[in-house]
Amino acid sequence: MNHFLIIGIIAGLCTALLNLSGYAGGVVGLGFILVLISPLPLMIASLGWGTFAGLVAVITSGLVLAIVIGPLAGLLFAVLNSLPAWWVTHLIGLSRAMKTEEGEDDVQWYPLERLLIWIAVIAILASMAMFVPFGFSLDAYRDTIATLMQQVYNAQQQSALENSGVNIDDLVTLISRLAPTASAVMIVISTAINLYLAGKIVAKSGRLNRPWPDLHQLTMPVTSVYVFLVALAGLLLLSGLPGVFSQIVASSLGSALMLVGLSVMHCLSQNTPARTALLWTTYILLVVFQWIGIILIILGVSEILVNVRSRFSTPPSGGGGPQDGPNQSGP
């Protein structure tokens, strides 16, 4: 128990320090990356040493932020950052005993498609929570962004922007419209990446208590596609707060569907000679040209609706399974 307690405290301290270091660096460049990976130590502790160690890390990280910044900051960090990270690692460790058709004992682990839904739900709730301080008023939300822009750009810089053809009011409008989508997308992607990295690190140490899942077969329930399409329609047809909430739901589920699309790409490219170059090119282009994510979302939706993998994939050459090579490890 003391061993798990110490691990949890250390992980919580690392999580809090990564977040504080990121914000101290202005949340740009390296600082931005530090903020995104701040839940990683907590996830490693929870996956490798159990949910108790992870829960200790959640409490520790919140207490550190409360001491350094303030009680409200500590509470928000624990609830919006640490607790969701602990929850997804708790879920991935769940299992139940079952019998095979031959009557042999087997273990069924928590399915990844449900985990993806949980990650999307967390992104939806966390992104909606950013409107709580504004009383869910879009005007107050936009005014706050305008105030921040006034603080970032002094009068001379604002004048230079306007002389270059950039209107500060248009910039505020653009940021206020893109912020919910950016929040939802970053939460889904960063949570998935942190979970993948934590799983790999813990697996290398031999402490991962479940077999490494076949990420080539990542999918989501068909209901998620219908909800995504309804949210997309709401984004296009609704205005005001309902439109923003539809935007958040569509962005969160769309990001999860994009991960399914990447999984399909990894699966279909297994026997492609230039597989590594193809995948690296896809990821680089995805970072540079975000609209490529739309293609991957369509691929993910197609997989869920018509099972693209079974129609176009072929078994890996050489008789190897989907986890044989280093490039087989997932989206």
Tens-place pLDDT, residues 229-245: 999 999 999 988 999 99
Confidence label for 323 from pLDDT (cuts 50, 70 and 90): very low
Query: Residue 321's pLDDT is what?
Result: 40
Phi and psi torsions of 108, nearest 5°: -105, 120
| In a domain? residue 18 | yes
pLDDT at 210 over 50: yes
Cα 4 to chain centroid distance, Å, stands at 26
Query: Residue 325's pLDDT is what?
Result: 37
| In a domain? residue 77 | yes
**220, 120 Cβ separation under 8 angstroms:** no
pLDDT at 22 over 60: yes
| In a domain? residue 322 | no
Query: Which long-range CB contacts under 8 A does 196-199 form with residues at least 24 apart?
Result: 196/330, 197/37, 197/40, 198/40, 198/43, 198/44, 198/47, 198/89, 199/47, 199/92
| In a domain? residue 50 | yes
Query: Residue 103's pLDDT is what?
Result: 66
| In a domain? residue 133 | no
pLDDT at 102 over 80: no
pLDDT averaged over the chain? Answer: 86
| In a domain? residue 31 | yes
Containing domain of residue 80, as a range? 1-92
Average pLDDT estimate for 119-144 = 90
Closest of 248, 136, 237, 133 to residue 184, by C-alpha: 248
38-52, 169-183, 193-207, 219-233: which has the minimum mean pLDDT? 169-183
Whole-prediction pTM value?
0.86
| Cα torsion through 52, 330, 40, 249, rounded to 10 | -90
What is the number of domains present in the chain?
1
